Structure 1
Amino acid sequence: MENITQWITNNQDLIIEYAIKGVVAIIILLAGLFVARLATGMLGKAMRKRDTDNAVISFLSAILKTVIVIAALLMALSHVGVQTTSFIAILGAAGLAIGLALQGSLSNIASGVLIILFRPFRAGEYVDAGGVSGSIEEINIFQTIMKTPDNKVVFVPNAQITGSPITNYNREELRRIDMVIGVSYSANLQKTKQVLMDVITADERVLKDPAPVVTVTNLNSSSVDFNVRPWVKGPDYWPCRWDLLEKIKDRLDQEGIGIPFPQMDVHVKKDT
């Protein structure tokens, strides 16, 4: 204990000097965090004024914040007395080794940049990407956050998204509803076609241009199949589809047009 007390007494100036440097380094680091928050806030505000997509804002803000925090950390270490040149060299070598070990993570970062550049989807759009269907919530450095229709939040790696086909259901204003309606072979085809056309054109959500189409598409083993293809606006797709299926079934029942279930006729031939 006496040795420790004597050492502190003999090195008071050195302790005070490093204590001051340590306090200043902490202040620099805290100032860096404050500047990072302020800069990302200003960036987000400026980009929102230009109606920039929220997913792009969150991605660029995350990159800007990371750069500012790293710069503040290097300044703080330099003030304490750490040789940042050597530190940067060591950090570069370590970064290379870590990069080789974390190729998947770097791939996610590169994929995130590609998503931001080419913008195959925007925040709020409903897409099928990376094997997941849902609305885009946010694009981060490593992953894209999606919300499914049953309100589950899914974190999909960016590399998984860019490495597979992307289907965007909201990019176009109009969508076509594709329904296959099978009817009995005993049904009058012209009457059935007219009934189906009457049902879909009676719905106000079905557009006149492009015109709806009703055609015979296949002669199956137990039914004659009709392709029923009306066009609607994107938000009306699912409500209109559900309503039309119900109305078509009711109308076919009223007209006495049967919808057969899969069946097979077996003919037994007896030798005499």
Structure 2
Amino acid sequence: MDFSQLLSTPITWWQVLWAILALLAGWIASRIAKRAVTDLMGHVPTATPAATRFAARFAQYTLLLLGFGIALAFLGANVQPVLAVVIVLVVVAALVLRGVADNFAASVLIATRKPVVLGEEITVEGPDGNPITGTVIELNSRAVVFTTPDGRTAHVPNSKLLAETLVNNSRHGGRRSEVQVRVERAGAGVDVVVEALAESAAAAEGVLADPAVGVLVTAVSATRITGRVQFWHDPARGLSVTSGVVAALTAALARRGWSATVTSEAVVPPLVPGDPV
């Protein structure tokens, strides 16, 4: 049978048959793709329902359009203008959704590779270039959300988190901090001062027994000892434990009658006047 009266080119039954099969195959493939994408997104913890619906519909409509284009090709239609329009729309959509797609893809990597999970403390580069530290409270398809010790909430795009340096302070299970100490030892031996510092720091609340407290002596003179006391604690309690160690060392050294300065900050110039030459 000849359909030349309906279209500019003659069409046979075989062409019609292949066009119908192409439409049917496109419809079946679109249904399967929609279901497969929905199931796949269901295994991504950070995927929201809106993102799941968008991805499933995008796959479905893409295959439907592909099947429709193949059917037109079987019928001898000129599909080049249609393909040109589709390509332009795809390019525009890719440019508009590039950031969204990058963050979503990064969220899948974060969910599978788990460089960070809920409740962990992380350090990333802040908007001013300085490091910012906080505890992760949410992982979604766009960003990692964490709160800082001073009550601020930060949203770091997933792609930025993977592309730049990420410090996970909690993954090891403990974190080491230190305080600086300068003691007027009043004739006491170096070993006696070091032992007193280690015992006092170990007794502070929140200091872990393993690894043990360490004391690094950095300078010794006839009247003074300068050193760093290093101790391990739960990553989420860094500030409170460090404060407790400073208070414990100060009290312990005062009980022994040793004049001392204890600080958790690096201080320049020296904490106490230099020795006479």
Fold match by TM threshold 0.5: yes
- Mapping of residues 46-125 of structure 1, within 5 Å: 57-59=45-47, 61=49, 63-70=51-58, 74=61, 85=69, 90-100=85-95, 104-125=99-120
1:193: which partner in 2? 194
Q: CA deviation at 1:248?
A: 0.7
Task: Give, in whole Å, the separation in 2 of the partners of 1:258 and 1:211.
Answer: 25
Q: CA deviation at 1:205?
A: 4.0
Please say if residues 123 and 134 of structure 2, whose CA atoms lie closer than 8 Å, have aligned partners that are also in contact: yes
Q: Which structure 2 segments of 5+ residues have no match?
A: 1-33, 70-78, 127-131, 262-270
- Mapping of residues 250-269 of structure 1, within 5 Å: 250-259=251-260, 261-263=271-273
| 1:245 maps onto 2:240 in alignment | no
2:165: which partner in 1? 165
Please say if residues 108 and 158 of structure 1, whose CA atoms lie closer than 8 Å, have aligned partners that are also in contact: yes
Q: What amino acid sits opposite 2:133 in the alignment? A: S
Task: Give, in whole Å, the separation in 2 of the partners of 1:265 and 1:130.
Answer: 41
Tell me which moved more, 105-114 or 252-261. Answer: 105-114
Q: CA deviation at 1:246?
A: 0.6
2:24: which partner in 1? none
Q: CA deviation at 1:122?
A: 0.6
1:64-98 Cα offsets, whole Å, 9 max, x none, are: 232134467x49x98xxxx9758787444333245
Task: Give, in whole Å, the separation in 2 of the partners of 1:145 and 1:202.
Answer: 35
> What secondary structure does 2:259 align onto?
coil
Identity score, percent: 23
Q: What amino acid sits opposite 2:143 in the alignment? A: Q
Q: CA deviation at 1:120?
A: 0.7
1:202: which partner in 2? 203
Change (3 A) 1:227 1:265: closer
Task: Give, in whole Å, the separation in 1 of the partners of 2:50 and 2:257.
Answer: 63
Q: CA deviation at 1:114?
A: 3.1
Tell me which moved more, 136-145 or 91-100. Answer: 91-100
Task: Give, in whole Å, the separation in 2 of the partners of 1:101 and 1:118.
Answer: 27
Q: What amino acid sits opposite 1:68 in the alignment? A: A
1:138: which partner in 2? 138
Q: CA deviation at 1:164?
A: 2.0
Q: What amino acid sits opposite 1:263 in the alignment? A: P
Q: Greater helix share, 1 or 2? A: 1
Please say if residues 126 and 170 of structure 1, whose CA atoms lie closer than 8 Å, have aligned partners that are also in contact: yes
Q: What's the Cα RMSD here?
A: 4.0
Tell me which moved more, 237-246 or 184-193. Answer: 184-193
> What secondary structure does 2:257 align onto?
coil
Task: Give, in whole Å, the separation in 2 of the partners of 1:155 and 1:143.
Answer: 6
1:9: which partner in 2? none
Q: CA deviation at 1:206?
A: 3.4
Task: Give, in whole Å, the separation in 1 of the partners of 2:118 and 2:161.
Answer: 15
Please say if residues 103 and 159 of structure 2, whose CA atoms lie closer than 8 Å, have aligned partners that are also in contact: yes
> What secondary structure does 1:198 align onto?
helix
| 1:154 maps onto 2:149 in alignment | no
Q: Aligned pair count?
A: 213
Q: CA deviation at 1:119?
A: 1.4
Please say if residues 178 and 227 of structure 1, whose CA atoms lie closer than 8 Å, have aligned partners that are also in contact: yes
Change (3 A) 1:106 1:218: farther
1:26-69 Cα offsets, whole Å, 9 max, x none, are: xxxxxxxxx99xx79x94xxx6xxxxxxxx51236554232134
Please say if residues 105 and 142 of structure 1, whose CA atoms lie closer than 8 Å, have aligned partners that are also in contact: yes
